[in-house]
Chains A and B, each alone.
Chain A
């Protein structure tokens, strides 16, 4: 049945080359754990992407219940966590997944570094990778405030103090992030929410696309 639907579309659209181009490619021996088990270190990039996908999905579902408002944010998180079926699981996936992304990304960076995969001609991909690193850190930073509990609030108080310690423009950066000259309040929460669910994920998608297009264009770097 599925085969016949596929054939029907393929006959008209010729879609086979489209996915072949993406999915069908040689995995060199030196990155295949079936040949050398130590090649599992090459999985960390893919694992990072996999966890990012989980973050996107669980985050989308969480916004069905979450409100970025200082009166209701904490209440809505408590509600989805304690009243909604599997809400605790989905929030748990997003919470723990956030840490897993950082760990996987760090391991991926180590592998790229120690195999020297960042060297010519792949310097640009390293640069894009570092940008992805900052975007992920930004997601962690902005997401931390959203539950609007004591831990979230005071962690962000400290983080904004750190931002303020930057010479010359520090004060400006703090106001830009907080959305208010003195307070960390209602406007900070909506601002962090917007950055967390629209701006950074958008940037992340673009950067990931660039990262993957470059790796397909240049191929995986050779064995040590």
Chain B
């Protein structure tokens, strides 16, 4: 029988099997390394605990900043992190806003600009936000300040992580 009568020639067969076996071995070698490298992407985010931040009767209609302390797990490194939250009462509802400007991440302050009362002001690029966190049109930020998940238990306000409002 000549080579021509076969659908797959001897050379092709060898090429396929050797490439297959070689590919399998290379994959077996590279898979653990690549899986290890992409682990942070595939990691399921841990649910953060709610942290006690303030007593309900400390809150007023005026936004006040409260410290928010929590343990941060960063791989092999654990850190005590202090964030702040702007908290106020809207009727009976508690509103807790993140001070992180949605433009480029600077820190905003309540009524920090004398010309802009009743607004959050970001000193970096003069971003402005209304009391409820809505960004003021024609200033750099393109979305409202993030809101902390919150929960009131026995007169104490607990905050989770800030979530986008849009």
- Interface residues, chain A, CB within 8 Å of chain B? 54, 57-58, 61, 64-65, 72, 75-76, 78-80, 83-87, 89-90, 93
Residues of A within 8 A of B76 (CB): 72, 75-76, 78-79
Establish whether residues A89 and B75, one from each chain, have CB atoms under 8 Å apart when the complex forms.
Answer: no
**Total inter-chain residue pairs, C-beta < 8 Å:** 45
- Interface residues, chain B, CB within 8 Å of chain A? 29-33, 35-37, 39, 42, 75-77
* Cα(A93)–Cα(B28), bound, Å: 12
Partner of A84, one of B29, B30, B31, B36: B36
The SS class assigned to the A binding surface is: helix
Known A72-B77, A76-B76, A78-B76; judge A86-B35 contact (CB<8 A): yes
* Cα(A79)–Cα(B43), bound, Å: 14
Residues of B within 8 A of A61 (CB): 33, 36-37
List the B residue with the shortest CB-CB distance to A74.
B76
Known A54-B29, A79-B76; judge A85-B37 contact (CB<8 A): no
> In angstroms, how far is the closest chain A Cβ from the Cβ of B79?
12
Establish whether residues B36 and A85, one from each chain, have CB atoms under 8 Å apart when the complex forms.
Answer: yes
Establish whether residues A85 and B30, one from each chain, have CB atoms under 8 Å apart when the complex forms.
Answer: no
> In angstroms, how far is the closest chain B Cβ from the Cβ of A62?
8
Establish whether residues B75 and A87, one from each chain, have CB atoms under 8 Å apart when the complex forms.
Answer: no
Residues of B within 8 A of A84 (CB): 36, 39
> In angstroms, how far is the closest chain B Cβ from the Cβ of A208?
19
Partner of B36, one of A72, A76, A86: A86
* Cα(A120)–Cα(B63), bound, Å: 87
A57, A76, A83, A86 — most chain B CB neighbours (10 Å): A86
> In angstroms, how far is the closest chain B Cβ from the Cβ of A6?
14
> In angstroms, how far is the closest chain A Cβ from the Cβ of B54?
34
Known A54-B29, A57-B30; judge A85-B77 contact (CB<8 A): no
